[in-house]
Amino acid sequence: MEVNNRSSIGQSDWNELSLGESAILKARIGWQGLTTTEYLNTGNYCLITGTDFKNGFIDWNNCVFVEKNRYDQDKNIQVHIGDVLVTKDGTIGKVAYVDKVPKPTTLNSGVFVIRPKNKSFNPKYFYHVLMSNHFADFLSRLTAGSTISHLYQKDFVHFDFPLPPLPEQKAIARVLSDTDNLIQAITQKLAKKRAIKQGAMQQLLTPKEGWERVKLDNVIDVNRGGSPRPIHNYITSSSNGINWIKIGDTSSSSKYITSSKEKIIPEGAINSRKVYIGDFLLSNSMSFGRPYILKIDGCIHDGWLVLQNYQSSFDREFLYYTLMSKDIFNQYLMKASGSGVLNLNKELVKTVELNKPKSLKEQTHIATILSDMDTEITQIEQKLSKYKLLKQGLMQQLLTGKIRLTV
């Protein structure tokens, strides 16, 4: 399948050519006859497979090993610093730049190696081309309307890419690598802050003097949602409709539910369950027990459980962090383990036990510390998203010659 991805280039001294037309690049596939029975847990000769790609580089700690005779059989797929690797099977199009080779290394059949034939081409530049939307769009067109799970060489050779003069290639690679380093530093900071928060939760939510352990059903009302059927008869586009809250109105990182995509007519609420600002929702199947705090009123279907009337015993934010704790999740797992399906129900949740300070003031103090940490994490997440978007925009400008780094 030939895929045309030619695009206009903004500079007269730039070229655009396909991988197959290029006289300066060569691509090879790793070992075709190698079987998993030849993989070794230890050894002196590494083997890179498609599972070893991580954040644009090779995760050397994940690599398996092969015997020396396999490494020696084909010098063309012996890995060198500066090689660009691309996965061709399974999750196709993952890319890695080889910045180090700790041991002699070869490739299995699921990986392409691409390297320049001469010094007129900068491999780090080509790595960034493959990490861009330019290559992602090529793969999307290649796989459109099919169940393809392989990147065949006969197709890969038709990948077209912009080729500026060598000094510009080097300058683009340097700028984009610097941007990647900044993104990586923010990513590492985010991971560190999340780990600190997890440690703080463990410490702050551990029972101390003046705490008590209570059965959830004794201090909180638990109920299941309901669904009017057939639901499509009750959905409305009217702005006066009642919020119909679904799991799709949340995200994996959200703490609150602030809006709903759908609404139902008042008649639908009769066979559903009304919920209110400040109530907690728990998913009883997907996202297994993940709590969300409502910032809207509405109705919920039977895929949700609602926790209400907790205010006399719990500070709202403290209850959120308690429900997010390992203690509660482990209780869910233990109580649901006999069913064979990780599924929460009202009776199970009622039996969960919660640790809490008797003093609401102490609960609020603990929750404030954790909320401040969450605020900092959210700010770092937003900064990371911003820089990733900026990088994509910068990459687009650089790879079309709209921004020129050299004269």
Cis? peptide before 230, omega within 30° of 0: yes
CATH fold of 15-123+155-161, please? Adenine-n6-DNA-methyltransferase TaqI; Chain A, domain 2 (3.90.220)
> 211-358 belongs to which CATH class?
alpha beta
Reading the block at residue 337, the tokens are 């383990």
Task: Tell me where in the chain the CATH 1.10.287.1120 domain(s) lie.
Answer: 164-210+359-407
SS3 per-residue string spanning 19-61 = CCCCCCEEEEECECCCCHHHCECCCCCEEECHHHEECCEECHH
Q: Could you state, in chain order, the average pLDDT of each consecutive group of 10 residues for the chain (407 residues)? A: 43 79 73 86 95 95 95 92 93 94 95 86 93 91 78 89 92 95 96 97 96 97 94 92 94 90 94 97 80 97 95 98 95 76 84 97 98 96 95 90 82
pLDDT at 87: 95
Residue-level pLDDT at 5: 43
pLDDT score for 7: 45
Contacts with 129 (C-beta within 8 Å, 6 or more apart), sequence order: 135, 161, 162, 399
| Total Cβ atoms within 10 A of residue 213 | 10
Fold of 164-210+359-407: Helix Hairpins (1.10.287)
Token representation of residue 290: 């993940």
Q: What is the pLDDT of residue 1?
A: 37
CA–CA separation, 301 and 271 (whole Å): 9
3-state secondary structure of 378: helix
Nearest to 125 by CA among 94, 93, 171: 171
CB 40 within 8 A of CB 66: yes
Residue ranges matching CATH 3.90.220.20 in the chain: 15-123+155-161, 211-358
This prediction's pTM: 0.81
